[in-house]
Structure 1
Amino acid sequence: MLRLSRLLIICGLLLLLPSCSSSTELAQVTASTVPLPSSAPPLVQATASTRTPASHGESDADLMATLMAAPPATTPPAETPVAMSSVARTYLTSTLDDMQQHYILSRSLDWSEIRRLAFSDAAGARVPADTYSTSRLALSLLHDPHSRFLTPDDLKQQQEMATNQPAPYGTRLPGAVGYLSLPTHLFVSSTHDPYAEQGVAAVKMLDQQGVCGWIIDLRNDNGGAVWPMLDVVGPILGEGQVGTFIDMAGNKSIWSYRHGQALLDDQVLSQAPVYEVHHPVPPVAVLTGDMTASAAEAIVVAFRGRPHTRSFGQPTAGVPTAPGYYTLSDGAQVAVTEALDVDRSGQSYMGPITPDEAVPPAVVTGRADDPVVAAALRWLATQPGCGR
């Protein structure tokens, strides 16, 4: 059975050599790309000049007689390849079907070739778990970091990591600026998520202390569940439609914030206490970095096109997209990017989001001596209500 590790080693970069699969091709690649180590002995051609002479008084005629009398050498029979079981084939087919049907750029891919490579790699698979590495191989051919395969053990580990997650943090900075840091939030426990409730409580506390503008720090937010995050920033962001998902067929799903609710179309996905900040449409600085990913990038997109808003820091991680999660028969999941994030002006995103003002990366402290925070404070001081 040709496993993933063998494909990657023999084919080099499989993504760049998708046709490297037949035995002839593998032999060619191996012969052309694998040099002998410097310590290997030189190859010696068997010629009359290098032949070892007979010894111990044995003549050439004696040697020939001995060879003629020896039994012929036998070649051991080749092992018969084990056929892929129908259970494993059905399972892998279902995984590939989900990928092909839902991936946002599916129409640009050669699925016949992807399936050929996948079933070749999974030859001999007997149970669904035998195809896991093949599913990851197929996903790697999408060139999409947001698409991935999660085994039942992976999902269990994620749920364990989701316990005792940090809550949003807020503090008041010089110049009467409210600073709000959003951490990663992996799972939504219910529509009344503690993350959203604690975040809105921080917003309320700072607003009641009297702030003229806000800094939303997403530099340590790797993503997770976007809806509680949207609920946290909702009172600052403002009500109404704030973004859209669009799939490969052009279908759109609207995300919005209304009265403490984060909604996808008309479905309430997160509910937090209703709160209205004292200064409607306050100036907002959004801080980003290379760890700002996925759901955090959706929050960046939600602020794009909003009045009195500017972003600072470094480009985001580059996955401002929406994956769909499809559960397989054994509880594993294949996550496939099925929609792009679109801001309120209609701009879609795929790849890193560049901030309005680049600031060299620095240790995130959330204080005024943090260079990215300092740049945001300087801008906020020029905005109506804060500096003039």
Structure 2
Amino acid sequence: MFRTATFIFLTLLSGAATAQTVWNGIGTHSRTNGSGDIQTSDGTAVTVSAESMEQDKFVGAITSLDATALQGREVRLTGSLLVAEGTGIAALWVRADGPNGQLAFANSGASPARAGEGAQARELQLYVPSDATHLKLGVTLDAAGRVEVQRLTLTSEPAVSGDVSAYDMMAYALPIIRANALNAGKVDWSAHKAKMDASDLKQRPAQEAYGRLQTVLNALGDRHSFLQAPRQAATARTTAVASRAIESRQMQDIGYVLVPGLRGTDAAAGKAFSAELCGKIATLAPTTSKGWIVDLRQNSGGNMWPMLSGLHPLLGDGAIGANRTRDGAVTRWGARAGTTCSLDLSRSRVAVLIGPKTTSSGEAVATAFRARPDTRFFGQTTGGRATSNRTYPLPDGGALLLTTAEFLDREGQAYPQGIRPETPVSSEQDAIEAAAAWLRSVP
């Protein structure tokens, strides 16, 4: 087992004229190695590996650059990712930080690079706000294994300014946030209104508003609201990609199904996801007599509705959860049966596996199983984002995904600190084995 420090500082020096990019490791057990300069045409190569995760949600590599020369420009991060060992998924990311934290962020999580798929080219674009001080970027891997990144290159170009100004964006978005955000009461609105009235905003491009709006979202403190640039918003509307394959298997008299996250809102892809999930349950049903294990430990969210629809046989009809706004308005939601899969397993025993990676819509699915009869949770506390986001299109084609409500289970219970399992199971123990023992404990 690797016992390296949380941040591994590797500076590889050579006689070349260009500087070497310095990489730090992310995660207690990460090993990071890199060579080359990310700002040259050849780019850099970096490898991240870990033999154990334990309490780490992910491992990775990070580097930091002074953002002064990049302010007001678009940066482009390109590279080729290969998950060479393990079963995890890898992603590139880039972030612009200011004096008070994150201003802009992009990652390739909507197009994950998976093991067994070979080298995968990925590209990110990000506008660097005028008050950014540092640009941070890197690669992440969400399970033990090894990811190799080749030709990782950072370039920049002047930002393209359209007909929408930063002032237009602020004038449109601030009232929406103030009127609808779950935690709007935490924000000093007079201070943000004063920032909107800055004389130069009408001459600045729409992209400049994203950093300013991000400071408002940071002030909300919900850890769930976020912004999508036009390109990201378009991808989310036209795709729906599972973070990993749906898994299912027969464990003698128990049926096991792993439900991954699903990024994007494309209707056809969402229907295909629910049909596949429900179909796997239907295939196992005839030989499953003791109950089911629903594994949500790798479900980091996305679009909750295809997940709930695919799990309809186990969740049953009627209200299985709800959203509650800051004003107390409750909107109930249920799992709709698919046209090709309508079996009823709502009286079966179910063991739900959860953990810190279970977050956002993953927590919505977990919430739907809370207060369900003959159901027990195993694992570790979820990520603490059991809240509902509503999408608001922005004038430049981007999107504001704003946290407007909290999830409620069938009995009206909210989970602001995450969902705690009735049976805690540490990362070193076998949660599947513990769940199976409980399912078989009743004759």
Q: TM-score, normalised by structure 2?
A: 0.60
State the alpha-carbon separation in 2 of the partners of residues 349 and 197 from structure 1.
29
Asked if the contact 1:291–1:316 (Cα under 8 Å) also holds between the matched residues in 2, the reply is yes
Q: 2:254 aligns with which of 150, 173, 177?
A: 177
Q: 2:273 aligns with which of 195, 210, 235?
A: 195
Amino acid at match of 1:183: P
- The corresponding residue for 1:7 is 99
Once the 2 structures are TM-superposed, how far is the Cα of residue 234 of structure 1 from its aligned partner?
1.1
- The corresponding residue for 2:436 is 377
Structure 1, 87-96 or 305-314: larger mean CA deviation: 87-96
State the alpha-carbon separation in 1 of the partners of residues 220 and 325 from structure 2.
16
- The corresponding residue for 1:333 is 399
Amino acid at match of 1:130: E
Once the 2 structures are TM-superposed, how far is the Cα of residue 121 of structure 1 from its aligned partner?
11
**Structure 2 stretches lacking a partner, 5+ long:** 1-67, 73-95, 102-162
Q: Secondary structure at the match of 1:382?
A: coil
State the alpha-carbon separation in 2 of the partners of residues 378 and 355 from structure 1.
16
User: Given the alignment of the two structures, is residue 312 of structure 1 paired with residue 378 of structure 2, yes or no?
Assistant: yes
Q: Percent identity?
A: 27
Amino acid at match of 1:177: I
State the alpha-carbon separation in 1 of the partners of residues 199 and 386 from structure 2.
31
In structure 2, do the counterparts of structure 1 residues 153 and 339 end up closer, same or farther at CA, with 3 Å as the change threshold? same
Amino acid at match of 2:417: G
**Structure 1 stretches lacking a partner, 5+ long:** 10-84, 261-270, 363-369
In structure 2, do the counterparts of structure 1 residues 276 and 90 end up closer, same or farther at CA, with 3 Å as the change threshold? same
Asked if the contact 2:279–2:341 (Cα under 8 Å) also holds between the matched residues in 1, the reply is no
Map 1:215-226 onto structure 2 (within 5 A): 215-226=293-304
Once the 2 structures are TM-superposed, how far is the Cα of residue 257 of structure 1 from its aligned partner?
2.8
- The corresponding residue for 2:124 is none
What RMSD, in angstroms, separates the aligned Cα atoms of the two structures?
2.8
- The corresponding residue for 1:291 is 357
| Larger helix share, 1 or 2 | 1
Asked if the contact 2:186–2:219 (Cα under 8 Å) also holds between the matched residues in 1, the reply is no
State the alpha-carbon separation in 2 of the partners of residues 172 and 86 from structure 1.
55
Q: Secondary structure at the match of 2:267?
A: coil
In structure 2, do the counterparts of structure 1 residues 153 and 375 end up closer, same or farther at CA, with 3 Å as the change threshold? same
- The corresponding residue for 1:13 is none
In structure 2, do the counterparts of structure 1 residues 229 and 164 end up closer, same or farther at CA, with 3 Å as the change threshold? closer
Map 1:319-358 onto structure 2 (within 5 A): 319-358=385-424
State the alpha-carbon separation in 2 of the partners of residues 162 and 347 from structure 1.
30
Asked if the contact 1:182–1:218 (Cα under 8 Å) also holds between the matched residues in 2, the reply is yes
Q: Secondary structure at the match of 1:204?
A: helix
Q: Which runs of 4+ in 1 moved over 3 A?
A: 1-7, 117-125, 156-167
Map 1:226-245 onto structure 2 (within 5 A): 226-245=304-323
Post-superposition Cα deviations, 1:136-171, rounded to whole Å, max 9, x if no partner, equal 122111112110111113334556874576442211
Map 1:75-90 onto structure 2 (within 5 A): 87-90=165-168
State the alpha-carbon separation in 2 of the partners of residues 153 and 351 from structure 1.
33
User: Given the alignment of the two structures, is residue 303 of structure 1 paired with residue 357 of structure 2, yes or no?
Assistant: no
Once the 2 structures are TM-superposed, how far is the Cα of residue 273 of structure 1 from its aligned partner?
2.2
Once the 2 structures are TM-superposed, how far is the Cα of residue 332 of structure 1 from its aligned partner?
0.9
Q: Secondary structure at the match of 1:348?
A: coil
Q: 2:427 aligns with which of 361, 365, 372?
A: 361
State the alpha-carbon separation in 2 of the partners of residues 121 and 170 from structure 1.
58
- The corresponding residue for 2:46 is none
In structure 2, do the counterparts of structure 1 residues 217 and 93 end up closer, same or farther at CA, with 3 Å as the change threshold? same
Asked if the contact 2:282–2:341 (Cα under 8 Å) also holds between the matched residues in 1, the reply is no
Q: 1:107 aligns with which of 170, 185, 193?
A: 185
State the alpha-carbon separation in 2 of the partners of residues 152 and 247 from structure 1.
27
- The corresponding residue for 1:23 is none
Once the 2 structures are TM-superposed, how far is the Cα of residue 348 of structure 1 from its aligned partner?
1.6
Q: Secondary structure at the match of 2:208?
A: helix
Amino acid at match of 1:301: T
Amino acid at match of 1:371: D
Structure with max Cα Rg: 1
State the alpha-carbon separation in 1 of the partners of residues 425 and 285 from structure 2.
27
State the alpha-carbon separation in 2 of the partners of residues 138 and 304 from structure 1.
33
State the alpha-carbon separation in 1 of the partners of residues 263 and 438 from structure 2.
32
User: Between Structure 1 and Structure 2, how many residues are aligned?
Assistant: 289
Map 1:87-166 onto structure 2 (within 5 A): 87-117=165-195, 119=197, 126-156=204-234, 158=236, 162-163=240-241, 166=244
Once the 2 structures are TM-superposed, how far is the Cα of residue 274 of structure 1 from its aligned partner?
3.4
State the alpha-carbon separation in 1 of the partners of residues 277 and 313 from structure 2.
11
State the alpha-carbon separation in 2 of the partners of residues 110 and 289 from structure 1.
34
Post-superposition Cα deviations, 1:198-229, rounded to whole Å, max 9, x if no partner, equal 01110110002333200000011111111111
In structure 2, do the counterparts of structure 1 residues 300 and 165 end up closer, same or farther at CA, with 3 Å as the change threshold? closer
| Larger strand share, 1 or 2 | 2
